[in-house]
């Protein structure tokens, strides 16, 4: 297995720059693993593939306004801070521009009409990541803007469009994009079919978008993301598993959280989980919890494409992506969706 096995060429015009309206009118490619068939549908037709007793698990993490603009206290030079991961109270890992001109000890003032926050660089890590201490963490949410992935070049007319309709627990710097296709009406329709909808939390970092650079993917240092699975949801999943009901994950982030939680316990006795998720799912992995998956189309050489390949089959997913390109599906965060049964 080599990282190059997960590469493909995508015409740039297929990278979705704006979301489809309404949310549930994106396209849906349905992959059936039992017979390797592919169907082309619309996302609002998802209930056709669900049945009473199914359990749909969503990631309810909410994207925070992680992009901060400030000025150096000493010189007034413009500084952009992109929050990556909260380490402790008022202490964050972040990317900074211009990185080479912002060293340890640099103080940055972040001001707007509502708040003023002082940020100080306290340390350096690999890959240009800096440790930053903020004077008042509670004001950060009033001081920043919602960050978009680097491949989206058009501004959003509404920041809420980069949030799922059920987003609740603030902490992500990127959206769990498979959930962007759901509307409140579609969720209600799904529930009326006898499908149980559960919510867990995995806070997503920007490392999600980083390609694997090592030739051998097993040498890639997987990013850690903080996840929470309540005992109530864990118990419901264990019961569903014991009864042979399908557990369907909305998004690869939900897959990683549930499978991480299952590493140290039986799927039939799943325990509550609140810790860092560092599970790297590659082909050959044995899934313990997940029976079906709703996901978007992922970047080449990404850990997410490797996860989806592990859930299906290398030849099948390669064929599906070629089919998506030939049928002009929209790719990545604001793109179309895939249902893998």
199-226 tens-digit pLDDT: 999 999 876 667 888 999 988 888 788 9
| Beta carbons within 8 Å of 298's beta carbon, 6+ residues apart | 252, 304, 305, 308, 332
> Any idea where the domains of the chain sit in the sequence?
3-63+156-340, 67-143
Top pLDDT among 127 and 262 is at: 262
Partnered with residue 228 across adjacent β-strands are 201, 274
296-318 tens-digit pLDDT: 999 999 999 999 999 999 999 99
Per-residue tokens: 177: 């994009």
| Beta carbons within 8 Å of 274's beta carbon, 6+ residues apart | 227, 228, 229
Lowest average pLDDT, out of 102-106, 188-192, 193-197, 241-245, goes to 102-106
Per-residue tokens: 329: 């599906």
Q: What number does CATH give the domain 67-143?
A: 2.40.10.240
CB 73, CB 107: distance < 8 Å: yes
Please check whether the two domains, 3-63+156-340 and 67-143, share a CATH topology. no
Q: Is the pLDDT at 32 greater than 70, yes or no?
A: yes
Q: Where are the alpha helices (DSSP H) in 17-149?
A: 140-143
Measured CA to CA in angstroms, residue 289 lies from 107, 200, 273, 286 at distances of 47, 14, 14, 9
* Separation of alpha carbons 281 and 212, rounded Å: 13
pLDDT of amino acid 230: 97
Measured CA to CA in angstroms, residue 26 lies from 51, 144, 239, 304 at distances of 22, 29, 33, 20
| pTM metric for this prediction | 0.91
CATH entry, 3-63+156-340, from 3.40.1780.10, 3.40.1190.10, 3.30.70.100, 3.30.300.10: 3.40.1780.10
Measured CA to CA in angstroms, residue 127 lies from 96, 100, 177, 221 at distances of 11, 12, 25, 12
Burial of 150 (0-12, 13-18, 19+ CB in 10 A): exposed
Lowest average pLDDT, out of 109-123, 153-167, 243-257, goes to 109-123
Q: Return mean pLDDT, the chain.
A: 93
Per-residue tokens: 167: 């987003």
Q: What is the mean pLDDT of residues 11-27?
A: 96
Q: What is the mean pLDDT of residues 309-334?
A: 97
Give the containing element (helix H, strand E) for 126. none
């Amino acid at each position: 297995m080599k990282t190059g096995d997960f590469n493909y060429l995508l015409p740039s015009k297929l990278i979705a720059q704006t979301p489809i309206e309404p949310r549930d009118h994106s396209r849906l490619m349905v992959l059936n693993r039992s017979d390797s068939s592919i169907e082309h549908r619309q996302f609002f037709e998802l209930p056709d593939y669900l049945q009473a007793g199914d359990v749909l698990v969503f990631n309810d993490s909410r994207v925070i306004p992680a992009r901060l603009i400030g000025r150096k206290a000493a010189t007034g030079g413009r500084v952009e801070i992109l929050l990556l991961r909260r380490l402790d109270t008022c202490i964050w890992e972040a990317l900074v521009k211009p990185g080479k001109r912002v060293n340890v000890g640099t103080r940055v003032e972040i001001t707007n009409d509502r708040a003023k926050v002082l940020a100080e660089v306290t340390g350096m890590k690999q890959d240009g990541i800096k440790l930053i201490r903020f004077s008042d963490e509670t004001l950060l949410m009033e001081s920043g803007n919602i960050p978009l992935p680097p491949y989206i070049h058009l501004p959003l007319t509404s920041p809420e469009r980069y949030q799922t309709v059920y987003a609740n627990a603030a902490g992500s710097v990127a959206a769990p994009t498979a959930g962007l296709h759901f509307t409140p009406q579609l969720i209600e329709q799904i529930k009326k079919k006898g499908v149980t909808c559960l919510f867990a939390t995995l806070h997503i970092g920007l490392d999600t978008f980083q390609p694997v650079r090592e030739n051998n993917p097993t040498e890639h240092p997987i990013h850690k993301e903080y996840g929470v699975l309540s005992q109530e949801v864990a118990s419901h999943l264990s019961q569903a598993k014991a009864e042979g009901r399908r557990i369907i994950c909305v998004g690869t982030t939900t897959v990683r959280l549930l499978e991480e939680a299952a590493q140290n316990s039986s799927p039939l006795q799943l325990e509550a989980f609140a810790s860092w998720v560092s599970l790297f799912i590659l082909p050959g992995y044995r899934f313990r919890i997940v029976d079906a998956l709703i996901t978007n189309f992922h970047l080449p050489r990404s850990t997410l494409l490797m996860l989806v390949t592990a859930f299906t089959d290398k030849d099948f997913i390669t064929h599906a992506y070629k089919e998506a390109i030939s049928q002009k599906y929209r790719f990545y965060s604001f793109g179309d969706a895939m249902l893998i049964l």
